[in-house]
Structure 1
Amino acid sequence: MSAEFIGSGNLGAAPVLRKVEVDGETRAVADLRIFFDRPKQQPDGSYSDDGGFWMNVSVWGRKAEDAVRVLAKGTRVRVEGRLREHSWEGDEGERTEMRLTADHVTLELGRVDTVTFKAP
């Protein structure tokens, strides 16, 4: 299963770089843990940050090395990539998780708390 995903969130920990063997060559992969918030609009028009979800994100190759060098816990990022379902056999039986393989990771330097639209 694969689906496109675009979202913004904060890193819950510093990225971890590891090397894996793929088709006979060693490749870099960075593991990120990101919290994606889902702001909810309140009756007064303001937004609260209630809700959200954690997701494991993989970044490959040169982008992985850059992510480890630039990103830190708490950094706000925008990621674009493909969602993949990953299953394995654990101590408690079969386990499944959704993992994002990122094509693009960009820093978000500011955050918009509210947006107001005015008719022309």
Structure 2
Amino acid sequence: MSNQFSGVGNLGQAPVLRTVQVDGEDRSVADLRVYFDRSVPQDDGSFEDEGGFWLSVSVWGARAESAVKVLRKGARIQVDGQLREESWEDAEGAEHRELRLTASRIGIDPVCIESITYRPRTGAPTEMPSDPGEE
């Protein structure tokens, strides 16, 4: 049985970036809260909202750092990744469980993007091949 998940939803808040120690190394992780709606197509071509659910999402490494720079509350995104259950005890000793998605890919709905800043490429530029018809 696979634990792969793919869904489209909206960010409930801006991503939060943290640094954690993993095997003695500092790693970046961004925490997201995403609401995945469940719209069901109707016979007349419209869609009816049948509720949805909130899911906590973790994004690691360079993707985490980019997510914090680009994503804003309300952004419509597609998230692919693996589901896992986390459990912990709070300060009062009560046990908690949460389903969390570790994202392997995040796609942004272009309508939600206000601006994009491109970073310069590193390394030597590549030349475009010349057109054989120009000789």
Same fold (TM over 0.5): yes
Residues 38-93 of structure 1, C-alpha deviations (whole Å, 9 max, x = no match): 01234644212230000000000000000000000010000100000001123373
Are 1:34 and 2:34 an aligned pair? yes
Give 2:59's aligned residue. Answer: 59
Which structure has greater helix proportion?
2
Letter in 2 for 1:82: Q
Q: How does 1:77-88 map to 2 (within 5 A)?
A: 77-88=77-88
The alignment partner of 1:39 has SS state of strand
Check if 1:99 corresponds to 2:103.
no
Q: Letter of the aligned partner of 1:41 in structure 2?
A: P
Aligned to 1:113: none
Aligned residues: 110
**Pair member with larger Rg:** 2
Secondary structure of the residue that 2:65 maps to in structure 1? helix
Bigger fraction of residues in strand = 1
Q: Which runs of 5+ in 2 are unaligned?
A: 112-135
- Bigger mean CA deviation after superposition, 35-44 or 46-55: 35-44
Query: TM-score scaled by structure 2?
Result: 0.75
In structure 1, C-alpha distance between the alignment counterparts of 2:45 and 2:10, rounded to whole Å = 24
- Which of structures 1 and 2 has the larger relative contact order (alpha carbons within 8 angstroms, sep 6+)? 1
Aligned residue for 2:73, secondary structure, equals coil
Aligned-CA RMSD value = 1.9
* CA distance in structure 2 between the aligned counterparts of 1:69 and 1:49, rounded to whole angstroms: 31
* Identical aligned residues as a percent: 58
